[in-house]
Amino acid sequence: MTLLTESEKTQLDQHGFLLLERLISADTTARLRERSLALAEAEQKAGKGHSYLANDSAQRVWNLVDKGEIFEEAIQQPKMLAAMEYLLGADCTLSSFTVNVLYPSAPDAGLHIDYPLSGLPPPRPNFPMVANSVWFLDDWTLENGATSCVPGSHRRLEALPEPYVAYDDELQICGPRGSVLIVNGAIWHGSSENRTNEPRVGLLGFFCRSILKPQQAHLELVSDDVISRATPTLRRLLGFDSLPNMND
């Protein structure tokens, strides 16, 4: 069964992003948000919070596959995976899976392209190497930090975005909670300012081609319990299929 339509594939090819509205059920979205905020709070209290942006106004929680079965299930969402496999190949792997919280007053993060493309000399590859899935656990609005992007910029192989420059063709992608935004890692993109009094909560499921080194060493970080119950799909995403003699 083909999960991506030809129109959706064209959107990814031409514009570099695809918004899958309300892909995740309301109940699952609410449970993901609750668990994400609980993890963020626990890491802050333990002095292990990974904060960034000015005044520590944004926070990441890493290694989600090892932090609850709800995340193990989420990262295998069929249509999201179909988009990743279309961009990165049927053997693509998970690079990292994180909570991303923008707290009130979090500033515009500026446009960027994703690791490791940002470190490559031009011209960069003319085919996708990495891609992100941005999970909207809140409504994404113009006020709370909606994702900014420049459509088609993944084809600008020689150029990089200038920090904090507003481009004429830049837009902000808004959508209802439960949506998932698929982003070619080469497109110019970034979070915008959260001007509300509430945190904007999302997940980032970041994928790479199997020939690339993931951001996180899943086989070292993920517990034996998770690996023992992992589906074939999850085992492949964690990198087992990238290693010889590991699948017997």
Contacts 24+ apart (CB under 8 A), 28-31: 28/70, 28/74, 28/178, 29/136, 29/137, 29/177, 29/178, 31/70
The verdict on residue 141 lying in a domain is yes
Q: How far apart are CA 157 and CA 135, in angstroms?
A: 27
Give the DSSP H/E element, type plus range, for residue 236.
helix 232-238
Query: Could you tell me the pLDDT band of residue 76, with boundaries at 50, 70 and 90?
Result: very high
pLDDT digits (tens, 9 = 90+) for 125-170: 999 999 999 999 999 999 999 999 999 999 999 999 987 888 999 9
Asked whether the beta carbons of 138 and 186 are under 8 A apart, the reply is: no
User: What is the structure's pLDDT at 242?
Assistant: 67
Q: What percent of the chain has pLDDT over 70?
A: 96
The verdict on residue 170 lying in a domain is yes
Which residue's entry shows tokens 């063709």? 169
CATH of the domain at 144: 2.60.120.620
The verdict on residue 3 lying in a domain is no
User: What is the structure's pLDDT at 33?
Assistant: 99
The verdict on residue 190 lying in a domain is yes
The verdict on residue 22 lying in a domain is yes
Query: Could you tell me the pLDDT band of residue 243, with boundaries at 50, 70 and 90?
Result: low
The verdict on residue 6 lying in a domain is no
Give the DSSP H/E element, type plus range, for residue 99.
strand 93-102
Question: Measured in Å, how far apart are the chain's first and last C-alpha atoms?
Answer: 28
23 lies in which domain range? Answer: 13-241
Domain count, the chain: 1
Mean pLDDT, residues 230-234: 96
CB atoms within 10 A of CB 215: 18
